Amino acid sequence: MKNTIKLLAGRVMSLSATIHSDEIGPTLKLALRIFLILFAYYLLKPAREAFILTDGSAELRSYSVALQALVLFIVIPLYSTLYKRVAGEKLYNRITLFFVVTLLGFWLLGVNGMAISVPFFIWLGIFSVTQVAQFWALVTDLHHPKSGKRLFAIIGFGGSLGAVLGSSFASELFVYFGPYNLLLLAAVILLLSSIAVRVKATNSSAATQAAKAVDWHAMLGGLHLVIKLPYLRILAIFVVLLNCVNSIGEYILASMVVDHFAAITTSSERGILIGEFYSDFFFWVNLASLLLQFFIVSRIYRLIGVSGAILLLPLITTIGYTLIAFFPIFAVVRMIKIIENSTDYSITATSRHALFLPVCTDSKYLGKTTIDTFFWRLGDLIQAGIVFAGTTLFKLELGAFAMLNVLLSLLWLWVGIRIGRYYKHYTRQSALTGTIDMSKPVLSKKQSP
């Protein structure tokens, strides 16, 4: 029975990318784990939106996102300290347990009538980047560049499927059971991702040994590593721009959602309708992401490589926000955001993880976690400043915010081109020598001797 399931799974996975027989079991386990993580996360997202937009506003939502960066500035050094002691699977399990316990705390506070909208919004934002970053740090540590390019599309498909089913279940459960019971269910599922799905991290001892041998400059931890290495610096800039553009787009959408439902319903019904809208919105985003992940990602890699794939999203946002600037219509914004987010969650997300395949172990854990958490939320912090200045000082219309996103997308595209040059250089260097030198910037073709 077990061999039959394994054979069937291998045949299904081969529709997405080439997979060898000895890779089926480990790949299936990793895909199942990210499935459970994102299933739990998408049960929580509609509750988060309903909490924050019912008790506050689109502006409060943007400012709450920004606070996540400030909290992560404290969390990153604590993570670096933990990484010195444990790595690999043990590190993942301890971080998962922390999130399960705190989620149960929010459930207890909520069912007893405490206001949790802003703290929960901040918590979920930190959870989403930290938990996923830990998963992909472990995955990149278990694969070399060639196998990673083949298998990441399959592993990422597990996450896309979890997101689709999670958002689909949330749409029904939100109405019948309310948001607080979704918190409890998500905690159970998250715990299962750690207890029921065991992954053997063969490189964890090497990671721990390497971490102890590094001078982390007091409490800077992974921040020092990102500042020190040119490749990690430019990846951090890429992530800041990515999330800044996306978050400004989310503000545009949230503003239109609030205005739309304020015009057609009473305040007592608004929270439920907003929750239903976002459940439906997340479902279509994740369905599109699922199809792109399974059928398109690995084929894009064969056509234009990882370095070409990371340029697709900034091209899409440049075109999309140009349309929004001239046609600021609710249906248009919804369509553009579905295209943007589905591309982000599939092609761009998988490509961002693949960019870490050729780098050293410390960069995969400390560097990647710092970039995917602190610098990701730094984009939100910059976005909050833009929203505050735009709404209070300059009184900008939504079309002006869209045009700003066009300019940021062009800058983002240029940064992506630079990253592609680094990635190609490190991949060639790793294939030839087995090691790479990340301490020096990669010269352009014109600058090369």
- Each residue's pLDDT tens digit, 362-401: 888 889 999 998 898 888 788 888 988 999 999 999 999 9
The total of structural domains in the chain comes to: 1
Q: Supply 292's token pair.
A: 């792109």
Contact status, residue 365 vs residue 40, Cβ threshold 8 Å: no
DSSP type of residue 443: P
Q: What's CA 320's distance to the chain center, in Å?
A: 21
In the prediction, which pLDDT does 213 show?
Answer: 45
In the prediction, which pLDDT does 316 show?
Answer: 97
Examine residue 2 and state whether it is found in any structural domain, yes or no: no
Contact status, residue 61 vs residue 274, Cβ threshold 8 Å: no
Average pLDDT in the 235-239 region?
Answer: 97
Contact status, residue 291 vs residue 12, Cβ threshold 8 Å: no
Examine residue 120 and state whether it is found in any structural domain, yes or no: yes
Examine residue 10 and state whether it is found in any structural domain, yes or no: no
Sequence length of the chain is 449
Q: What's CA 170's distance to the chain center, in Å?
A: 19
Q: Which domain holds residue 118?
A: 17-433
Write the single-letter amino acid at 319: I
Position 449 confidence tier, pLDDT thresholds 50, 70, 90:
very low
d(CA 346, CA 297): 7
Write the single-letter amino acid at 97: L
In the prediction, which pLDDT does 445 show?
Answer: 52
- Given a cut of 60, whether residue 203 has pLDDT beyond it is no
d(CA 174, CA 178): 5
Q: 3-class SS at 348?
A: helix
Examine residue 221 and state whether it is found in any structural domain, yes or no: yes
Contact status, residue 357 vs residue 148, Cβ threshold 8 Å: yes
Nearest to 274 by CA among 54, 59, 118, 55: 54
Contact status, residue 149 vs residue 424, Cβ threshold 8 Å: no
Examine residue 12 and state whether it is found in any structural domain, yes or no: no
Q: Supply 194's token pair.
A: 């750690």
Average pLDDT in the 322-326 region?
Answer: 95
SS3 content of the chain, % helix, strand, coil (to 5): 85, 0, 15
Position 277 confidence tier, pLDDT thresholds 50, 70, 90:
confident
Examine residue 389 and state whether it is found in any structural domain, yes or no: yes
Q: Average pLDDT of the chain? A: 84
Examine residue 441 and state whether it is found in any structural domain, yes or no: no
Q: What's CA 285's distance to the chain center, in Å?
A: 14
Q: What angle do CA 302, 303, 306 make, to 5 degrees?
A: 70
Question: What DSSP string describes 98-119?
Answer: HHHHHHHHHHHHHHTT---HHH
What's the farthest any 2 CA atoms get from each other in the chain? Answer: 69
Examine residue 212 and state whether it is found in any structural domain, yes or no: yes
Position 264 confidence tier, pLDDT thresholds 50, 70, 90:
confident
Torsion sign over Cα 127, 243, 339, 13: negative
Ranking 183-187, 210-214, 444-448 by mean pLDDT, the lowest is: 210-214
CATH number at residue 363: 1.20.1250.20
d(CA 330, CA 324): 9
Position 104 confidence tier, pLDDT thresholds 50, 70, 90:
very high
In the chain the first and final C-alpha atoms are separated, in Å, by 60
- Which distant-in-sequence residues (6+ apart) come within 8 Å of 421 by Cβ? 307, 442, 444
Contact status, residue 346 vs residue 297, Cβ threshold 8 Å: yes
- Which distant-in-sequence residues (6+ apart) come within 8 Å of 445 by Cβ? none
In the prediction, which pLDDT does 207 show?
Answer: 40
d(CA 366, CA 324): 38
User: Which is more confident, 412 or 60?
Assistant: 412
- Given a cut of 70, whether residue 208 has pLDDT beyond it is no
d(CA 254, CA 49): 9
